[in-house]
Amino acid sequence: MARRLEGKVALITGAASGIGRATSLLFAREGAKIVVADRDLAGSEQTVSQVKEEGGDAVAVQVEVTDAGQVEAAIQAAFNKFGRLDVLFNNAGTGERAVSIMDLAEDEWDRVMAVNVKGVFLGIKYGAAAMLKAGITGSIINTASVAGLVGFAGHAAYSASKAGCLHLTKVAALELARSNIRVNAIAPAFTATAMVDELTSASRDPQRARQKLAQVIPLGRLGTPEEIANAALFLASDESSFMTGAVMTLDGGLTAQ
The Cα–Cα gap between 7 and 3 comes to 9
- Reported as a pLDDT band with limits 50, 70 and 90, residue 1 is low
Three-state SS letters, 6-32: CCCEEEEECCCCHHHHHHHHHHHHCCC
**Is residue 46 a contact partner of residue 39, using CB atoms and an 8 Å limit?**
no
Residue in 127, 158, 187, 199 annotated catalytic: 158
pLDDT at 207: 81
pLDDT at residue 212 tops 70: yes
148-200 pLDDT, tens digit each? 999 989 999 999 999 999 999 999 999 999 999 999 999 999 898 777 767 76
Half-sphere exposure of 224 (CA within 13 A, CB side): 4
Q: Is 126 a known active-site residue?
A: no
Write b or e for each residue in 163-178: b if 16 or more Cβ atoms lie within 10 A of its Cβ, otherwise e: bbbbebbbebbeebee
What domains lie within the chain, and their CATH numbers? Answer: 9-188+224-249 (3.40.50.720), 190-222 (no CATH)
Per-residue pLDDT at 26: 98
- Give the phi and the psi of residue 249 in degrees, each rounded to 5: -100, 120
Q: What is the pLDDT of residues 98-120, one digit of tens each?
A: 899 999 999 999 999 999 999 99
The pLDDT of residue 195: 76
Q: Which helix (H) or strand (E) holds 225?
A: helix 225-236
